[in-house]
């Protein structure tokens, strides 16, 4: 006989209970679902992306109205439950009473509000549900100042979202460092630095005394006496279990509603789960354990044996660019040993806490790729004695020389947890893949892995790869080539962290499987080394594609093309005469105007290159690097010199930029343009970096392309002077040089790191911008010279353009 099940609260925990019930016994219960919020269940943890504008509410709905209807669930949304009568077995809501056979309380938790004067003024918001999120979005639309009280997970996600929406944000935190429950001091420091770099002000050891204001919040007063102006105050200082109904119904309640391992309260017909419960002294604030509870509760309702156990938890923060991971217990203590790895230059910190032969805690900042692996070791209590030395470098370094990143995933046991939010382990995913879920979407749909916060997506993809082999096209982090298991990102990371300064060091230390690489990895390794160690490493021409080795573009018939620089597209009669003379002298079959505002001499014989360069050099012409993964052209329009609309000297700035940047090597080609006004005749908004002059200064745009893919640029920033423009562009070039994968144009690289990260690094953080510009300058002190002149004057190099011997004459004798 169908029994009546009433559920109070349509949140993340009860949503799962209903799914399990429908999956296993759809007809066992007739379900009535109350929710105080005027809507059904949505993915609460994705409110932060909604706040920041990365997602819409529609995208995070997990159960739509249609879904409830289809499963015949009676929904009473927007209705507060006001009382439970356990004797009558009824539940009373604002609109009436229903009776139950079984009752589930899933009321979640309520934000804790510090009872300071003014806490109830309009403009003071907590962060719990969609209404709060929308209230923040509305407040942010008016701009102004926001003060977020609380530097924990929620507070920081709120702060980042509000900043994203253009508010001036200050975070107040009572403790000495941010997220002190999840992070140690060093990681907290790096997190703070990253947040500050994006313009968020962080005040630690800041205790709130009062919220000031007449009709609404206007300022926050600190114990120190300092007053901070505030148009919006967000309180995110903690949560407390929502137990009021249970209290009134005289169920056993400690801090939360007490439940046993079957999720049963002190009344056998009343169950509870989620953030409102207390189990064995534990409270809950993350979704992973709630999902376990949901499974157990559904089983209990169906009279199947099951028991909830508390597991270790790992924490991540959903703020792009702030990569942190923490798991286990990382307090210092006797008999505990720390392994620490730091890379100050890149803001990376990793700390492992070992007790005896077990890993008990891990805190990571900046690079959290190995987080799940460490988490597995902690949970399983794995004996790590054998790998102690290399443990900190992660799974890729364990088990011999072949550092195949996939081998680590392949080696994970089947019960290793991959998706922390949904508690999905490797075995479940592999089973799903073998059962036909051959892409990320299908795995998500069948297992829920990576369906919540998404940070395990990379691991799921690696599992797809391990399970399907070549049938799965890895979207990212593929090994560079057959010579190594390392991806480009790993390689870049390792070159810096292990201070590898020669190709031989890379091959040896990183376990290349071939003697000296191949045509795919060698150019990449060569580039990374010269970009990271401009003073120590010497460029290796033999690791370059012929064009860059010979400083000319090879043609299909083995001849070359020669493109001299025309700074900013400006030339002179003398230069044109020299080009014409060279074309005559070397029988150049084709002279063409390129799409880059200069002239191409096509069909020059390889042996003639040094001579034609010598001739062009004498007229002051230098290499145009039309062949390089480096600065190509800086296109300009005529600007204020001639044009009636010009707002700035676009030609002059273009020339300055080209003179500043030329000769530099970059991950892929780098094209710039400067337009004198928004009519944009130099097509600046489809270049890697484009400048559009306006009356008040210079808009700097980045990430355009018009080749295999057409991309409009995005605005990086606006500056007032040419000097600033050059500094920002130097910094942009350098940050791209230091971070992108070889052969990624700026737009591709930006797709991965996000424009916001770049803005935080070079627009908001002026110090960092200057440091980057200086590093660029340092590299240019080596590379800003004309390779044509070098090759033409050096007799050994020059000789290499000619055959080493000519036996046709001897044979003729």
Partner 1 sequence: MNWIDICHIDDIPLRGARVVKTPLGCIGLFRTGEAEVFAAADSCPHKGGPLSEGIVHGQSVTCPLHNWVFDLNTGEAQGADEGRIETFPVQVEGGRVLIAEAVLGKRRAA
Ligand X SMILES: Cc1cc2nc3c(=O)[nH]c(=O)nc-3n(C[C@H](O)[C@H](O)[C@H](O)COP(=O)(O)OP(=O)(O)OC[C@H]3O[C@@H](n4cnc5c(N)ncnc54)[C@H](O)[C@@H]3O)c2cc1C
Residues that bind ligand X (CB under 6 A): 8-14, 34-37, 44-45, 47-48, 80-81, 106-108, 127-128, 154, 157, 242, 245, 274-275, 285-288, 290, 318, 421, 453
How far is Cα 89 from Cα 5, in angstroms, rounded to an integer?
Answer: 11
Return the residues of window 540-599 that contact ligand SRM according to CB under 6 A. 553, 555, 561, 563, 592, 594-596, 598
Among 215, 225, 806, 813, binds partner 1 (CB under 8 A): 806
How far is Cα 94 from Cα 97, in angstroms, rounded to an integer?
Answer: 8
Q: Taking CB under 6 A as the rule, does residue 712 contact ligand SRM?
A: no
- Minimum Å gap between C-beta 293 and ligand X is 9
Nearest to 318, CA basis, from 126, 150, 454, 134: 454
Which listed option, partner 1, ligand X, ligand SRM, none, makes contact with residue 626 (CB within 5 to 8 Å by class)? Answer: ligand SRM
Contact predicate 279/308, CB 8 Å:
yes
The span of 94-102, 137-145, 676-684, 798-806 binding partner 1 (CB under 8 A) equals 798-806
Nearest to 599, CA basis, from 631, 626, 637, 639: 626
Contact predicate 256/235, CB 8 Å:
no
Contact predicate 747/711, CB 8 Å:
yes
How far is Cα 294 from Cα 271, in angstroms, rounded to an integer?
Answer: 11
What does 321-363 look like in DSSP terms, one character per residue? T--EEEEE-----TTEEEEEEEEGGGTEEEEEEEETTEEEEEE
- Pattern 490-519, binding to partner 1, x per CB under 8 A? ------------------------xxxxxx
DSSP state of 470: G
Relative to beta strand 424-425, strand 479-481 is unpaired
The span of 26-34, 488-496, 614-622, 625-633 binding ligand SRM (CB under 6 A) equals 625-633
Residue nearer to partner 1 on the CB measure, 1 or 811:
811
- Minimum Å gap between C-beta 609 and partner 1 is 12
Residue nearer to ligand X on the CB measure, 37 or 688:
37
- Minimum Å gap between C-beta 679 and ligand SRM is 17
The span of 13-21, 168-176, 340-348, 801-809 binding partner 1 (CB under 8 A) equals 801-809
Contact predicate 523/442, CB 8 Å:
no
Supply 765's token pair: 């953080």
Which listed option, ligand SRM, ligand X, partner 1, none, makes contact with residue 413 (CB within 5 to 8 Å by class)? Answer: none
Q: Taking CB under 8 A as the rule, does residue 799 contact partner 1?
A: yes
Q: Distance between alpha carbon 340 and the CA centroid of its chain, in Å?
A: 23
Residue nearer to ligand SRM on the CB measure, 230 or 705:
705
Residue nearer to partner 1 on the CB measure, 606 or 697:
606
CA dihedral 639, 642, 644, 650 (to 10 degrees): 10
Q: Distance between alpha carbon 663 and the CA centroid of its chain, in Å?
A: 31
∠ CA 190-731-681, rounded to 5°: 135
Q: Is 678 helix (H, G, I), strand (E, B) or coil?
A: coil
Which listed option, ligand SRM, partner 1, ligand X, none, makes contact with residue 318 (CB within 5 to 8 Å by class)? Answer: ligand X
Which listed option, ligand SRM, partner 1, ligand X, none, makes contact with residue 542 (CB within 5 to 8 Å by class)? Answer: partner 1
Residue with tokens 């030609």: 651
Residue nearer to partner 1 on the CB measure, 556 or 644:
556
Residue nearer to ligand SRM on the CB measure, 394 or 630:
630
- Minimum Å gap between C-beta 642 and partner 1 is 43
Among 436, 471, 807, 813, binds partner 1 (CB under 8 A): 807
Residue nearer to partner 1 on the CB measure, 400 or 806:
806
How far is Cα 243 from Cα 256, in angstroms, rounded to an integer?
Answer: 6
How far is Cα 162 from Cα 172, in angstroms, rounded to an integer?
Answer: 14
Return the residues of window 338-377 that contact ligand SRM according to CB under 6 A. none
Supply 762's token pair: 């070079």
How many chain residues interact with ligand SRM (CB under 6 A)? 21
Which listed option, partner 1, ligand SRM, ligand X, none, makes contact with residue 592 (CB within 5 to 8 Å by class)? Answer: ligand SRM
Q: Taking CB under 6 A as the rule, does residue 628 contact ligand SRM?
A: no
How far is Cα 293 from Cα 280, in angstroms, rounded to an integer?
Answer: 13
The span of 199-207, 351-359, 441-449, 796-804 binding partner 1 (CB under 8 A) equals 796-804
Q: Taking CB under 8 A as the rule, does residue 201 contact partner 1?
A: no
Q: Is 171 helix (H, G, I), strand (E, B) or coil?
A: strand
Contact predicate 758/321, CB 8 Å:
no
Residue nearer to ligand SRM on the CB measure, 145 or 629:
629
What does 288-318 look like in DSSP terms, one character per residue? HHHHHHHHHHHHHHTT----------EEE--
Contact predicate 328/312, CB 8 Å:
yes
- Minimum Å gap between C-beta 289 and ligand SRM is 47
Supply 147's token pair: 């003060």
R_g of the chain computed on alpha carbons:
32
Q: Is 187 helix (H, G, I), strand (E, B) or coil?
A: helix
How many chain residues interact with partner 1 (CB under 8 A)? 32
Which listed option, ligand X, partner 1, ligand SRM, none, makes contact with residue 595 (CB within 5 to 8 Å by class)? Answer: ligand SRM
Instruction: Using CB positions, name the residue nearest to ligand X.
Output: 11
Q: Taking CB under 8 A as the rule, does residue 805 contact partner 1?
A: yes
Which listed option, ligand SRM, ligand X, partner 1, none, makes contact with residue 492 (CB within 5 to 8 Å by class)? Answer: none
Residue nearer to ligand X on the CB measure, 293 or 559:
293
How far is Cα 228 from Cα 114, in angstroms, rounded to an integer?
Answer: 17
Q: Is 43 helix (H, G, I), strand (E, B) or coil?
A: coil
Nearest to 178, CA basis, from 161, 153, 148: 153
Return the residues of window 515-574 that contact partner 1 according to CB under 8 A. 515-519, 522-523, 541-546, 549-550, 554, 556-558
Contact predicate 105/257, CB 8 Å:
yes
Q: How far is CA 393 from CA 263, 342, 350, 529, in A?
A: 41, 11, 9, 21
How far is Cα 75 from Cα 131, in angstroms, rounded to an integer?
Answer: 19
Residue nearer to ligand SRM on the CB measure, 649 or 658:
658
- Pattern 690-709, binding to ligand SRM, x per CB under 6 A? ---------------xxxxx
Contact set with partner 1 (CB under 8 A): 514-519, 522-523, 541-546, 549-550, 554, 556-558, 606, 799-800, 803-808, 810-812
Contact set with ligand SRM (CB under 6 A): 553, 555, 561, 563, 592, 594-596, 598, 600, 626, 632-633, 669, 671, 705-709, 745
């Amino acid at each position: 006989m169908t029994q009546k099940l009433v559920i109070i609260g349509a949140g993340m925990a009860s949503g799962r209970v209903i799914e399990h019930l429908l999956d296993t016994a759809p007809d066992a219960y007739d379900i009535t679902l109350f929710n105080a919020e005027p809507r059904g269940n949505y993915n609460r943890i994705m409110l932060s992306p909604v706040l920041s504008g990365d997602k819409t509410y529609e995208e995070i709905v997990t159960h739509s109205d249609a879904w409830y209807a289809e499963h015949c669930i009676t929904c009473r949304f927007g209705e507060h439950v006001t009382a439970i009568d356990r004797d009558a077995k009824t539940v009373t809501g604002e609109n009436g009473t229903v009776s139950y056979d079984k009752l589930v309380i899933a009321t979640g938790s309520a934000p804790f509000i510090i009872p300071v004067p003014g806490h109830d003024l309009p403009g003071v918001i907590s962060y719990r549900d969609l209404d709060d999120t929308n209230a923040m979005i509305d407040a942010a639309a008016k701009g102004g100042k926001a003060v977020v009280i609380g530097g924990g997970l929620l507070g920081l996600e709120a702060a980042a979202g509000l900043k994203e929406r253009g508010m001036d944000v200050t975070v107040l935190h009572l403790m000495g460092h941010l997220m002190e429950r999840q992070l140690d001091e060093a990681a907290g420091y790096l997190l703070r630095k990253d947040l500050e770099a994006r313009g968020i002000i962080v005040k630690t050891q800041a205790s709130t005394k009062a919220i000031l204001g007449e009709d609404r919040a206007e300022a926050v007063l600190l114990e120190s006496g300092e007053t901070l102006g505030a148009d919006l105050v967000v309180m995110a200082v903690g949560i407390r279990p929502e137990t009021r109904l249970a209290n009134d119904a005289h169920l056993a309640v400690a801090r939360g509603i007490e439940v046993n391992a079957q999720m049963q309260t002190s009344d056998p017909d009343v169950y509870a789960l989620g953030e409102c419960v207390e189990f064995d002294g534990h409270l809950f604030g993350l979704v992973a354990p709630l999902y376990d509870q949901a499974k157990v509760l559904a089983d209990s309702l169906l009279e199947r044996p099951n028991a909830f156990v508390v597991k270790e938890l790992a924490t991540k923060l959903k703020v792009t660019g702030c990569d942190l991971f923490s798991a286990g217990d990382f307090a210092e203590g006797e008999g505990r040993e720390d392994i620490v790895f730091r890379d100050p230059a890149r803001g990376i910190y990793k700390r492992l806490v070992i007790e005896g032969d077990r890993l008990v805690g891990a805190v990571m900042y900046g690079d959290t790729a190995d987080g799940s692996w460490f988490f597995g070791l902690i949970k399983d209590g794995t004996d790590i004695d054998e790998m102690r030395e290399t443990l900190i470098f992660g799974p890729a370094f364990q088990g011999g020389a072949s550092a195949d990143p996939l081998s680590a995933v392949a080696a994970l046991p089947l019960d290793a947890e991959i998706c922390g939010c949904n508690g999905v382990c490797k075995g479940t995913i592999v089973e799903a893949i073998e059962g036909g879920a051959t892409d990320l979407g299908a795995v998500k749909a069948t297992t829920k892995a990576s369906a919540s916060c998404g940070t395990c997506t990379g691991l799921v993809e690696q599992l797809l790869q391990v399970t399907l082999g070549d049938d799965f096209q890895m979207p990212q982090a593929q090994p560079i080539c057959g010579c190594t298991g390392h991806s480009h990102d790993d390689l870049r990371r390792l070159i810096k962290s292990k201070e590898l300064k020669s190709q031989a060091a890379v091959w040896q230390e990183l376990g290349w499987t071939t003697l000296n690489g191949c045509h795919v990895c060698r150019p990449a390794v060569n580039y990374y080394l010269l970009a990271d160690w401009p003073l120590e490493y010497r460029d290796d021409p033999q690791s370059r594609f012929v064009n860059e080795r010979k400083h000319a573009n090879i043609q299909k018939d083995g001849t070359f093309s020669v493109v001299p620089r025309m700074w900013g597209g400006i030339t002179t009669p003398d230069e044109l005469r020299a080009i014409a003379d060279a074309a005559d002298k070397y029988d150049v079959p084709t002279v063409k105007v390129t799409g880059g505002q200069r002239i191409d001499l096509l069909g020059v014989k390889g042996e003639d290159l040094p001579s034609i360069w010598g001739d062009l050099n004498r007229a002051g012409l230098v290499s145009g690097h039309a062949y390089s993964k480096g600065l190509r052209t800086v296109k300009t329009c005529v600007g204020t010199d001639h044009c009636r609309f010009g707002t700035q000297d676009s030609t002059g700035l273009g020339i300055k930029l080209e003179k500043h940047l030329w000769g530099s090597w970059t991950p892929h080609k780098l094209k710039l343009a400067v337009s004198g006004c928004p009519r944009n005749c130099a097509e600046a908004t489809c270049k890697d970096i484009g400048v559009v002059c306006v009356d008040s200064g210079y808009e700097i745009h980045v990430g355009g392309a018009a080749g295999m893919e057409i991309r409009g640029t995005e605005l990086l920033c606006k500056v007032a002077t040419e000097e600033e423009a050059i500094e920002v562009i130097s910094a942009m070039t350098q940050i791209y040089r230091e971070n992108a994968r070889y052969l990624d144009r700026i737009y591709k690289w930006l797709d991965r790191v996000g424009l916001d990260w770049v803005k935080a690094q070079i627009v908001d953080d002026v110090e960092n911008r200057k440091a980057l510009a200086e590093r660029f300058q340092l590299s240019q002190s080596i590379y800003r010279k004309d390779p044509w002149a070098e090759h033409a004057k050096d007799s050994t190099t020059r000789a290499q353009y000619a055959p080493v011997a000519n036996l046709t004459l001897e044979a003729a004798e």
